[in-house]
Amino acid sequence: MARVSMEGAGEYFHHYPRVAIIITVHAGDRDNAMAAAWHCPLSFTPPLYGVAISPKRFTHDLIVEAGEFGINFVPVEKAELIASVGGSSGREVDKFHRFDIAREKPLKTSAPLLRDAYASYECKLVEHKTYGDHVWFVGEVVASHFDEDVFTPEQTLDLERVAPALYLGAELYTMPAKDAIRHLDRKVYGKR
| 166-175 pLDDT tens trace | 999 989 999 9
Are the C-beta atoms of 142 and 109 separated by less than 8 Å?
Answer: yes
For 61: left if phi > 0, alpha if psi spans -120 to 50, otherwise beta; the answer is alpha
CATH of the domain at 114: 2.30.110.10
Domain range enclosing 62: 18-189
- Long-range contact list for 80-89, CB < 8 A, 24+ apart? 81/22, 81/116, 82/20, 82/22, 82/35, 82/165, 82/167, 82/173, 83/35, 83/171, 83/173, 85/22, 85/33, 85/34, 85/35, 86/34, 86/35, 89/58
Predicted confidence at residue 189, as pLDDT, reads 84
Q: By mean pLDDT, which of 15-19, 27-31, 34-38, 74-78 is the weakest?
A: 15-19
Residue 9 domain-assigned? Answer: no
pLDDT, the chain, mean:
94
Our count of domains for the chain comes to 1
How does residue 177 score in pLDDT terms, banded at 50, 70 and 90?
A: confident
Give the mean model confidence (pLDDT) for residues 57-85: 97
Give the mean model confidence (pLDDT) for residues 68-72: 98
Residue 158 domain-assigned? Answer: yes
Cα–Cα distances in Å, from 176 out to 98, 158, 166?
Answer: 29, 11, 7
Q: Is the pLDDT of residue 190 over 90?
A: no
Predicted confidence at residue 90, as pLDDT, reads 94
Residue 95 domain-assigned? Answer: yes
Q: Give the model confidence (pLDDT) of 128-151 as tens digits.
A: 999 999 999 999 999 999 999 999
What's the pTM value of the predicted model, to 2 decimals?
0.93
CB atoms within 10 A of CB 38: 15
